[in-house]
Amino acid sequence: MDEQVEHDDDLALIETCRAGKTEAFAWLVERYKKMVFSLTYRMTGNRWDAEELAQEAFVRAFRRLADFDAKRRFATWLYTIALNLCRDRAKRKRIAAVPIDAPIGRARSLLDRLAGTAPDPERQLAAKEDEAFVQHSLMGLPAGQKEVLILRVQQDLSYAEIAEVLNIPVKQVKARLHRARRKLRALWTEREPNAEEAHKTRR
């Protein structure tokens, strides 16, 4: 769906909800439930927490529809709500970095893309390529870097949209993304010392 068409359709559904026909919100849930769950899952690394947080994100969005700014994309606003919930959960649980102990094998090409060293690095995460290794890698990143990487690579948000969600300058978004990719590249090289040389040879 075209971004402008999607925005206009979202606004129509929101206005319908505001007018009292709250069942229209179900269409918004259906449209964005996979997107929100993928975000909460990548942020928490826990399916049960992710499902709970995704549900809570929609509950909060519904309760705050009266405050929604029509100039914003609903998706971006929803990302902000979901991300803040993930941050709150992380603070309560005091989540520590998870050691990376899964085999590199099938995850090599994915980690390569996340680190920005393979063609089309902006494509979304390929979760089937050794999910455990990918998730452990993400959980090992500092929170700010992980957020930017997920929003950019998996959720395909623009730099401007990420800056809006995180409330930081675009310049800082790019810097965090660069550091996140560099960190992932270092993890790959640490696991497979000859990987960097092999990559240079393929160029």
In tens, the pLDDT along 78-91 reads: 999 999 999 988 88
Residue 198 CA to residue 28 CA, distance in Å, equals: 46
pLDDT tens-digit readout, 14-28: 999 999 898 999 999
pLDDT at 97: 39
pLDDT tens-digit readout, 152-172: 888 888 999 999 999 999 999
Q: What counts of helices (H) and strands (E) characterise the chain? A: 10, 0
Closest CA to 137 of 154, 158, 157: 154
pLDDT at 191: 56
Tell me, yes or no, if the two domains 3-93 and 105-202 fold the same way. no
Q: What pTM, to 2 d.p., does this model score? A: 0.69
Please check whether the domain covering 3-93 is classified as CATH 1.10.1740.10: yes
CATH number (1.10.10.10, 1.10.1740.10, 3.40.250.10, 3.40.47.10) of 105-202 reads: 1.10.10.10
| In the chain, domain spans | 3-93, 105-202
Burial (0-12, 13-18, 19+ Cβ within 10 Å), 192: middle
Residue 140 CA to residue 96 CA, distance in Å, equals: 8
Sequence-separated (6 or more) residues with CB below 8 Å from residue 44: 50, 53, 86, 89, 90, 95
Average pLDDT value for residue range 27-44: 91
Residue 51 CA to residue 191 CA, distance in Å, equals: 32
